[in-house]
Amino acid sequence: MSDVKKIATRESYGNALAELGKNHEDVVVLDADLAAATKTGVFKKAFPERHIDCGIAECNMMGVAAGLAAAGKVPFASSFAMFAAGRAFEQVRNSIGYPKLNVKIGATHAGISVGEDGATHQCNEDIALMRTIPGMVVINPSDDIEAKAAVQAAYDHVGPVYMRFGRLAVPVINDKPDYKFELGKGVVLREGKDLTIIATGLPVANCLEAAEKLAADGIDAKVINIHTIKPLDEELVVAAAKETGKVVTVEEHSVIGGLGSAVCDVLSEKAPTKVMKIGINDTYGESGPAVELVKKYGLDADSIYEKVKSFV
């Protein structure tokens, strides 16, 4: 996919916020001294009076966001996933989730592809954390188009939303005329009858590439993109499992508590199916170039192809 347009979803987040700000004066963007990295600086340049730098005080930022939401604003609180979901979990749970406030959390630099920043900044646990908060919507877009649509959908939804964005540039795969983003609805990217690959975020494009490699071996893989992990598109997941009989989940997140766990929760109750989870296997990340880390932790197209082939 070297000739395909690539853009990091954190870039998409910043651009989408700036567009949103043009149409909605109630949008306020908060950051924790990371506007250049999270790309909220794009919004700050366009609307400096509606951008608040809370400093390196993520927990306080969530409290400020809660207050703004209580006053009728629509705040987008932004920081690295490790800090937004990890450091500020208590404030997100108690100050935003419990009172069901209309706060949107933009968490960038998620997953192993943060790269050289290493294990302390590579948050592979955020989806699991945010899934446990009652009423929290969890979105993990796979490309530029989906990330921009997610920001608009988050604004339109009344209630707390957690959005997960990446640092590494990823291929644009949703540039189809009939593409439609709906909260809680998955997208079938490729039809197939032998097994179903259900993916989210960064690895979705790699799963499509792996599916083509599998096709050359006579294995017909259905590929589903799950951009909204909570609420999950249970109907689509169950139907695909019944149709193909085997399911593989792929995520740039721990195999504990993320997409794989959400899918298994549904299938164990409604359509018991053999499932293989591909993700970060109960381990910390390490420092290194993002592309090499994606390959080392088995999330590149070749690794996914090999694992799925052995599973089939």
Task: Report in angstroms the alpha-carbon separations of 162 from 116, 189, 205, 273.
Answer: 25, 24, 22, 29
Spatial contact of 278 and 304, defined as CB atoms under 8 Å apart: yes
Spatial contact of 17 and 29, defined as CB atoms under 8 Å apart: yes
Smallest CA-to-CA distance from 274 within 302, 301, 296, 246 is with 246
Smallest CA-to-CA distance from 203 within 142, 140, 291, 280 is with 142
Task: Report in angstroms the alpha-carbon separations of 206 from 75, 126, 171, 244, 283.
Answer: 33, 22, 9, 20, 22
Give SS3 for 279. strand
SS3 of the chain: helix, strand, coil, percent, to 5: 45, 20, 35
Task: Report in angstroms the alpha-carbon separations of 200 from 22, 65, 239.
Answer: 30, 27, 18
Instruction: Spell out the residues 6+ positions from residue 2 whose beta carbon is closer than 8 angstroms to its own.
Output: none
Q: CB burial class (10 A; 0-12, 13-18, 19+) of residue 143?
A: buried
Strand order, beta sheet including 221-225 = 187-190, 221-225, 195-199, 246-254, 274-280
Spatial contact of 65 and 103, defined as CB atoms under 8 Å apart: yes
SS3 sequence of 75-87:
EEEEEEHHHHHHH
Please list the active-site residues: 58
